[in-house]
């Protein structure tokens, strides 16, 4: 049965990657939480999506150039006053450490997906630090380590041969089963557009090529024409239980992926996804 993970907690409604957002996602009834980690100047693992404070907090600067004490001075909630549920108490939210989040989750039997944000900054020994924190505070819960940067998750496997690792991908890959077997991947974490391509886009491109008499190699025309009818059914037939899909917010897309029985849907609106899942179950 498809699981529902709260993407950065419940970021469509609450300030992303905060303890508030994680607790709200748990209250909604998620099967798991997805979060992102970086390393501070003084070697602390903090939970935040971007490499800098600028977008999501009241502060500025690169995480790698700031100490934990400096990061703890900024608000991780004040920038979300535009959200309908905003309350002034959000201004008191801080960027949490991974240790703090693990301690927060301790009473709740939810899975945890830790994305290591190492595709732009080479954080020295972040894999070992994350592993040690999970070993000490994870309470035996299922933890999946993911990254766009393949060497990072391979290092996680070197540290712990039983670690659940998943490769984040924005595009599809050929022979995915071979990658999974070779690198001992527990799953692939795919952009929803890989699993749910938009044929109307390629249909418009094909029509424009035909109407404008654009001289393109026949291989290009063949590719565009094939994508009109592409639904990745072959991929899903073999690997649906090994695929987690992000970030899925539209009700029709949530419904489609539930019918495809992918392993997990990651969403900014977990309460919406859970409601759709329950509705589909009542009609089975």
How many Å apart are CA 274 and CA 260, to the nearest integer? 16
Question: Element (H or E) spanning 284, and its range?
Answer: none
Marked catalytic residue, from 7, 38, 131, 189: 7
DSSP per position, 139-162: TT--EEEEESSHHHHHHHHHH-TT
Strand 164-169 to 3-7 pairing: unpaired
Marked catalytic residue, from 38, 49, 125, 229: 49
From the number of C-beta atoms within 10 Å of its C-beta (0-12, 13-18, 19+), residue 20 rates as buried
Residue 49 falls in the annotated catalytic set: yes
How many Å apart are CA 65 and CA 40, to the nearest integer? 7
Residue 7 falls in the annotated catalytic set: yes
Residues known to be catalytic: 7, 49
């Amino acid at each position: 049965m498809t699981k529902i993970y709260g993407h950065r907690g419940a970021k469509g409604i609450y300030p992303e990657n905060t303890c508030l957002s994680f607790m709200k996602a748990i209250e909604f009834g998620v099967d798991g939480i997805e979060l992102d980690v970086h390393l501070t100047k003084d070697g602390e693992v903090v939970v935040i999506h971007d490499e800098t404070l600028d977008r999501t907090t009241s502060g500025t600067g690169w995480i790698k150039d700031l100490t934990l004490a400096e990061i703890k001075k900024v608000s991780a909630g004040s920038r979300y006053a535009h959200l309908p549920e905003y309350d002034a108490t959000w201004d008191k939210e801080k960027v949490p450490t991974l240790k703090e989040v693990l301690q927060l989750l301790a009473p709740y039997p939810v899975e945890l997906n830790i994305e290591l944000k190492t595709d732009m900054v080479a954080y020295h020994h972040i894999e070992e630090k994350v592993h040690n924190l999970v070993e000490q505070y994870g309470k035996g819960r299922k933890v999946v380590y993911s990254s766009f940067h393949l060497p990072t998750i391979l290092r996680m496997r070197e540290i712990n041969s039983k670690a659940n690792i998943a490769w984040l991908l924005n595009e599809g890959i050929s022979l995915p089963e071979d990658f999974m077997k070779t690198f001992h991947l527990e799953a692939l974490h795919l952009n929803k557009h890989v699993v749910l391509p938009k044929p109307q886009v390629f249909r418009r491109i094909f029509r424009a090529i035909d109407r404008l008499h654009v001289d393109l190699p026949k291989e290009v025309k063949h590719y565009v024409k094939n994508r009109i009818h592409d639904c990745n059914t072959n991929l899903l037939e073999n690997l649906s239980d090994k695929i987690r899909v992000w970030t899925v917010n539209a009700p029709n897309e949530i419904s489609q992926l539930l019918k495809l029985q992918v392993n997990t849907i990651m969403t900014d609106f977990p309460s919406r996804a859970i409601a759709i899942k329950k509705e589909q179950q009542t009609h089975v």
